[in-house]
Amino acid sequence: MKNIFVVGVGLIGGSFALDIKKLNPECTIYGVDNNEAHLDEAITLGVINEKAGFNDLEKADLVIVAIPVDATLSVLPKVLDAISDNAIVFDAGSTKEDICTKVKNHPKRRNFLAVHPIAGTEYSGPSAAIHGLYKNKTNIICEVEETAFKLQEKALKLFADLGMRIRYMNPKAHDKHIAYVSHLSHISAFMLGKTVIEKEKNERDIFDMAGSGFESTVRLAKSSPAMWTPIFEQNKTNVIETLNEYISNLKHFKSLMEDGNFEAVYNEMETTNHIKDILNGIQ
What are the residue boundaries of the structural domains of the chain, listed by start? Answer: 3-169, 173-282
Q: What is the pTM of this model?
A: 0.88
User: Parallel, antiparallel, or unpaired: how do β-strands 138-142 and 112-117 relate?
Assistant: antiparallel
Per-residue pLDDT, 274? 86
Work out the angle at residue 105's Cα, subtended by the Cα atoms of residues 102 and 111, and round it to the nearest 5 degrees: 85
Architecture of domain 3-169: 3-Layer(aba) Sandwich (3.40)
- Among 189, 180, 191, smallest CA distance to 219 is for 189
Alpha-helical regions (H) of the chain: 11-23, 36-44, 69-82, 97-102, 149-161, 171-178, 184-200, 212-218, 225-234, 236-258, 262-272, 275-282
What pLDDT score does 121 carry? 87
The domain made up of 173-282 has a fold known as 6-phosphogluconate dehydrogenase C-terminal fold (1.10.3660)
For residue 281, the model assigns a pLDDT of: 65
More confident residue, 283 or 253: 253
Two domains, one topology: 3-169 and 173-282: no
CA distances from 260 to 97, 199, 249, 272 (A): 45, 25, 17, 20
- Render pLDDT for 96-119 as a digit per residue (tens, 0 to 9): 999 999 999 999 999 999 999 999
